[in-house]
Structures are given as C-alpha cells and as structure tokens.
Amino acid sequence: MSRGRQSGVAVVEFALMGPVLFLLLFGVFDLGKLTQDYTTVAEAARQGARQGAANADPTDSPFGARNASPCPGTQFATSATGQGCLTDAGILETVRRTLSSGAMDPAATLQSNTNAKTCIANATQVALAPNHAWVCISPSEATGTGTDASCSAAKLRLGRDPVAGDLGDRKDEWSAARYRGCFYVQVTVIYAYKPMTALLQGVIGNRIRLVSSSSTLAEY
C-alpha cells in the first residue's frame, strides 16, 4: 500500500522544489553574466579615464586597430565644444567601444560635469533604462573659468592638490599651459543590469546597478 503511493512522490517533490531549483539555476546563471558585465564596466571606466593620460583618438585605442594618424594633441584646446581627442564625446566613444568589446549593449548617455557620487544618486530606476549605461565625466569641458596664476598657486590657495573642477572647467584646465598636469579626470560608468531570465526580471526589475569609477591625471 505504501509502495503504491510512492509512485507520485517524485512529481510532487519536483512540483514543490522546481521553482526553487529554477530560481537558483537562473540566479546563478545571471550572477555569472553579472560578474562578466561588471568586469567590462570596470574596464570601460578605466579605458575612458586612461584617455586623459593617452589623449588618444577613440578610433586609435590601444586594444583596437592602430590608427596611422595620432591625435594632434593640445592643438584642439581652443575650442569650447571640444574638437579633438580628450573631449567628453571622445571619452564616451571609448567607453562605448569597450562595452561593445565585452558583448554588452553599447547604448550610453553622457552626463557631463558629474562626479561619481552625483552620478550614482541620479541613476534611479526611472532615469536609467535597463541595459543602458551612463558615462559621468568630471569636470566637464565647457563651463567656468579658472583664475589661478598657476598650478602651484592653485595649490597654495586651496591648501591641497587640486581635484577636477577646482580650476574651472576641464577645457580651461587643459587649454591653459599653467594648469597642465594639475588635475584628475574622473570617469564613472553606471550600467543598469537587466536580468536575462523573465523570472528574475519580474522579481528584481530595474534595480541592479553596475558602477565603476576611475581617475587619471590628465597629461598634455
């Protein structure tokens, strides 16, 4: 009698445990993808920030094809709209390319003159769509004016090493020889991770943010 009733036990057990099992399964599946994506986001932020030192054209990136005509360097600096290489648009493009190389959606929006803290605070569920990235760059290239006589004068006034934005906008910082090698460019990448499985999408929604920030001392 008891043996006859056991014939449905496996089905019942599976019915009970199945959802849990699948949740675990998909959870681990997404965790793997999440890890991979985070690595890519971190790399994208780093490559974006490195452009401050390399001052390179996005099409001339170290991991891509070699471009025969390098960035002309400081000669672009007079333009407030940022023609040249170390521009917000240039950094954005480098981040996009890195995301793309990591098999991620390269859709990214530029958030100029935004530091990491503000960038994270602003990237709400509503503001940042799933599978979409924000690239926050601080300082921006287009506003404000620095008034210090030199980098060392700025250090004296501030009582510390200047950080991004202390000396006016980034365009001013790079176009004025007196500020060269004086400040950092901070690049933050925030990516809204969308779970691959519908089950987790329903549970988690648009809540996961992959965040990485990197700074480089700009060189000209």
Partner 1 sequence: MLKPRGRRQQQGQTIVLFALAAVVLFGVAAIAVDTGLAMADRRGLQAVVDSASLAGAREYYTLGAAATASNAHYVAMLYLAKALKGSVPQSCTFLSCGNALTLTGGYTFTFVDGPGTLDITATHTLTALFAPAGKLGSNGITVGTGARAKAPAAVTGTAAGYAVFVSGGDFQLSGGGSNAPSGDVSGNIYAAGNIGNGQGQQGHDEGGNGHSLRIPTQPTDANGNVCQPASTTHLDTTNSSISGSITWVRNGNGPASGTTNVRISPAKTDPYAGVAAPVPAVNTTYTSSWQALVANVWQPGTYDGFFPDRSHLMAPGVYVVKNVEGGDEGSTMQVGGNAVPGTVGTADKAGAVTIVLDSSDQADLDLSNTTLNGLDDDGIGVRDALGTHNFAIYAPTYSGAVNVDNSNITGIVDLNKADLGSEGNSSFHFYGSVVFKSVSISGGGNGTQAFSYVCSLQAVLAPSSGSYGLQR
Cα angle at 32 between 30 and 37, to 5 degrees? Answer: 90
Task: In whole angstroms, give the CA distance from residue 207 to residue 192.
Answer: 7
Query: How many residues lie near partner 1 (CB under 8 A)?
Result: 44
CA distances, 180 to each of 43, 77, 150, 174, 219 (Å) = 26, 12, 9, 6, 7
Interface with partner 1 includes 148 (CB under 8 A)? Answer: no
Interface with partner 1 includes 144 (CB under 8 A)? Answer: no
Residue number with CB closer to partner 1 (13 or 117): 13
45, 49, 56, 211: which one binds partner 1 (CB under 8 A): 56
Interface with partner 1 includes 157 (CB under 8 A)? Answer: no
Interface with partner 1 includes 125 (CB under 8 A)? Answer: no
Binding segment for partner 1 among 27-35, 133-141, 185-193, 198-206 (CB under 8 A)? 27-35
Residues 6+ apart with CB under 8 A from 160: none
Cβ-contact 206, 124 below 8 angstroms: no
Q: How far is the CB of 88 from partner 1 (least distance, A)?
A: 19
Phi, psi of 209 (to 5 degrees): -120, 125
Task: In whole angstroms, give the CA distance from residue 121 to residue 157.
Answer: 30
Interface with partner 1 includes 71 (CB under 8 A)? Answer: yes
15, 16, 19, 35: which one binds partner 1 (CB under 8 A): 35
Terminal Cα distance for the chain, rounded: 86
Interface with partner 1 includes 159 (CB under 8 A)? Answer: no
Closest CA to 51 of 83, 80, 92, 101: 92
Q: How far is the CB of 146 from partner 1 (least distance, A)?
A: 18
Residue number with CB closer to partner 1 (61 or 112): 61
Q: What is the contact surface with partner 1 in residues (CB under 8 A)?
A: 3-4, 6-7, 9-10, 14, 21, 25, 28-29, 31-33, 35-36, 39-40, 42-43, 46, 50, 53-57, 60-63, 66-67, 70-75, 102, 150, 152, 219-220
